[in-house]
Structure 1
Amino acid sequence: MADRETAQDAGGQRLSTREAADRLGVKPETVYAYVSRGQLTSRREPGGRGSTFDVKEVDALARRAGRREPTASGGELAVRTGITLINRDHCYFRGVDTSDLAARYSYEEIAEWLWTGDLRPGIRFTAPRDALPAARRAVQALPAHSGPMDRLQVAVIAAAAADPLRFDLSEGTVIETARTLIPTLVDSLPSHAPEQRAGDSLASRLWSRLTAEPADAAALRVLDAALVLLIDHDLAASTVAVRVAASARAHPYAIVSAGFGALDGVLHGAASGLAHRMLQEVLDRGSAAAVVADHLRAGRRVPGLGHPLYSGEDPRARALFQFLEDVPQARPALEAARQVISTTARHTELHANVDLALAVLTVSAGMPPEGGETIFAVSRTAGWIAHALEEYAERPLRMRPTGQYHGPRPPQPLP
């Protein structure tokens, strides 16, 4: 068919509609939308059955806009991914309900499965000999008041500097880097308990970095479940940052650094710290009503409630609350969280999100307010690597939106 063949004339190579769509990474209908907006020029060849497009003009548009994905209904950029689906108040990894995954498998098993497609029961991640000492020295050099995110960001940079093969973006090397980077991040944090063995689970080693309280099997199970549930959550802000970096072919350490940068904000990774402080205040004052009233009076949103992607309760919170039921020391904080939910429900219909459930864990375990953010950051590193692997397989530099200039029109006089 003429429309599926590349036309050639004295003016240079021309593309069919389908070929132009493939180069731009859009649907054929979108190509015609570009024509109507004056971004592309089409031409119907004599005797041809479809429009053709100048290859240089198509490539110039691709460079300006990046390789675009189909847009969502709201007009924002949508990116094809096979990692996470959020649908009808459920969250799925590779089509499997995350609550079921958290109930059955460990964090390391699910991370490995997301990266490779293979489930390896009992797998343990261990830090390499060169990277861990470098990361620990870098973390120890920080001021005493440095927080966990400061330490994690420095640790990933030090680990990168210790890896001369970090620029190898082959799939196998990236996965092996991920297997060693995550335990390096955990083991570089200061410990509150005797040093854990390398063969212990990542959850067990992370626990000793977050609190001096001893952990029983039920408490560790909650932490491991939290790590599984937080691995990914579609295209959150930090994941978008990671995919942009991976689109530019940044190495795995750099893409994790990009994720940490976006995560370190009160509206993203740090949100659980606000819920932690609120729950602690409820326990100290003995009244959720008084604490919620203070937030409402000040015009602040109540931490740990509501999520734009769920009409009901965040399924990750629901799963963690169920695990927390089996932890006796968590009962006071769990009851405080329920009082916050019921008290707020008198004023507005908001449901618990995962930050509130994380706060129950961190308060009951004697962790600092930043404990939830640390759990979030360590967990999400596995999801970022999964997204980087997807993005490395795409056309480079496709994550390039077009700016809408609203400044003074040229020419303007020199300042």
Structure 2
Amino acid sequence: MAAEGDEDYLTTAQVARRLRVKPETVYAYVSRGLLTSVRARGRRGSLFAAADVERVASRSVEHSGVVEEIESALTLQSGDELYYRGRSVPDLATRSTLESVAHLLWTGELTEQPPFPVDRPSVDLARAAIAVLPPTARRTDQLRIAVAALGAADPLRFDLDPTAITTAARTLLGTLITALPGPTAAADASPGTRLLPKLQANPNATPSGAPASQDSEGATPPSASAAAALDAALVLLADHGLAVSTVAARVAASARANLYAVVSAGLGALDGQYHGTAPTLAYDFLARAKHDPLGALSDHLRTGTGVPGFGHKIYRTRDPRAEALFTLLGDHPIMQVVQTITTHTKSFPNSDLALAALSHAHSLRPDAGEALFALARIVGWTAHALEEYAAPALRYRAPGIYTGTPTPD
């Protein structure tokens, strides 16, 4: 217990000013054992030994670029709801095109937009870069090398004017969608229609796995329903606030990296096993569960790890993106598998499982979910880059606490 007025002790506010951090960070230092708080007699609040504070200060890397909170006008996650610039994302997924939603995120205006353009020389370059990769390369591997090649070939890539950025982003998306290996649909078709034959496990089969002749008269052909589901998935996944890949993209933009470098930074973080590759893990889990849902669940529970595609760090009772995709899948048999597993878990399915279910329902490649995730998130990374380009440069640098060998006195 410290005596009030003891000059050897500092208040929380004084510590925050000395360390150039917020009061909340001071309490974080306490929880991490870097500082020890004591109670003051006859008053509320904590005090900290001045010597301890100086010790932490001497080990801190002081600079003016610390950003502890990032303000953004793009995406709101409120409760278990998701909004882009104040508009319900599930509603946008069923009523707006990806091009229009991209324009909304980039400019704040929701207006009808033309298809993403296709630059033929850029498509040829991207395909040449992709051709260098081995046949085992995933679609996301192909996207990464294509983005790097396209960036190196763009002499105007350092033009960070908002109009130049949005024009480049539209062309980049159109080029990447077209350049991926597989049959090429009409350039004026929707992104989902153009991607479908490139993401199918067998492009010559109907997406539902059933012969086209089995469709009832007047019903939506399987290929059309699959393309619509892909279009919806791209909108639903376009942004999700400050996910780790988005933070990586914003850090790159803060250094005034060009759009291609920003996208490359996002793709690099997306490749982590806890982020962009999660849909493939969920796909593999569903592949086993299709034959024995409870057996697959039981085998996975024995590992002591979370069930792939279930739960979320932000949502508490449901993932609105997953619900929207499940609605599009209707009564497809894969939904019976999802429902059986969900009934016997204490959590809820997330967008990773929804992408996996979409892939199984329409006979897509095991890595199709990753590719959809990556392409969709390019829209969001571009929007965050535009915000970052308008902010002070080089504003990201966490306060460092040196824990190495002490320097001589």
Give runs of aligned pairs for residues 351-390 of structure 1, distance below 5 A.
351-390=348-387
- Contact 2:196–2:226 (Cα < 8 Å) also in 1: no
- Contact 1:274–1:369 (Cα < 8 Å) also in 2: no
- Contact 1:203–1:224 (Cα < 8 Å) also in 2: yes
Give runs of aligned pairs for residues 71-110 of structure 1, distance below 5 A.
77-110=68-101
Per-residue deviation, 1:248: 0.2
Give runs of aligned pairs for residues 53-202 of structure 1, distance below 5 A.
64-69=62-67, 77-191=68-182, 193=183, 195-202=184-191
Per-residue deviation, 1:32: 6.3
Per-residue deviation, 1:184: 1.4
How many pairs are equivalent? 341
> CA offsets per residue over residues 149-194 of structure 1, 9 Å max, x none?
1101000011112210001001110010000001111112101x3x
Once the two structures are overlaid, the 10-residue window that deviates more, 362-371 or 304-313, is: 362-371
- Contact 1:277–1:369 (Cα < 8 Å) also in 2: yes
State yes or no: 1:208 paired with 2:197. Answer: yes
Q: Structure 1 counterpart of 2:232, which letter?
A: A
Once the two structures are overlaid, the 10-residue window that deviates more, 216-225 or 165-174, is: 216-225
| Aligned equivalents of 2:276, 2:120: Cα separation in 1 | 30
> CA offsets per residue over residues 271-323 of structure 1, 9 Å max, x none?
0111111111111x2x2111010011121211110001011111111111111
- Structure 1: give runs of 5+ residues left out of the alignment: 1-29, 40-62, 70-76
| Aligned equivalents of 2:124, 2:64: Cα separation in 1 | 40
| Aligned equivalents of 2:75, 2:14: Cα separation in 1 | 31
- Contact 1:131–1:158 (Cα < 8 Å) also in 2: no
- Contact 1:159–1:184 (Cα < 8 Å) also in 2: no
Q: Structure 2 counterpart of 1:374, which letter?
A: A
Change over 3 Å in CA distance of 1:205–1:31 after alignment to 2: farther
Q: Structure 2 counterpart of 1:338, which letter?
A: Q
State yes or no: 1:220 paired with 2:227. Answer: yes
| Aligned equivalents of 1:243, 1:361: Cα separation in 2 | 30
- Contact 1:273–1:372 (Cα < 8 Å) also in 2: yes
Per-residue deviation, 1:403: 1.4
2:17 maps to 35
The higher-RCO structure (CA 8 Å, 6+ apart) is: 2
| Aligned equivalents of 1:66, 1:380: Cα separation in 2 | 30
| Aligned-pair Cα RMSD in Å | 1.9
2:337 maps to 336
Give runs of aligned pairs for residues 238-257 of structure 1, distance below 5 A.
238-257=245-264
- Contact 2:139–2:371 (Cα < 8 Å) also in 1: yes
2:32 maps to none
Per-residue deviation, 1:247: 0.3
Change over 3 Å in CA distance of 1:350–1:66 after alignment to 2: farther
| Aligned equivalents of 2:91, 2:153: Cα separation in 1 | 37
Once the two structures are overlaid, the 10-residue window that deviates more, 231-240 or 331-340, is: 331-340
- Structure 2: give runs of 5+ residues left out of the alignment: 1-11, 22-60, 207-221
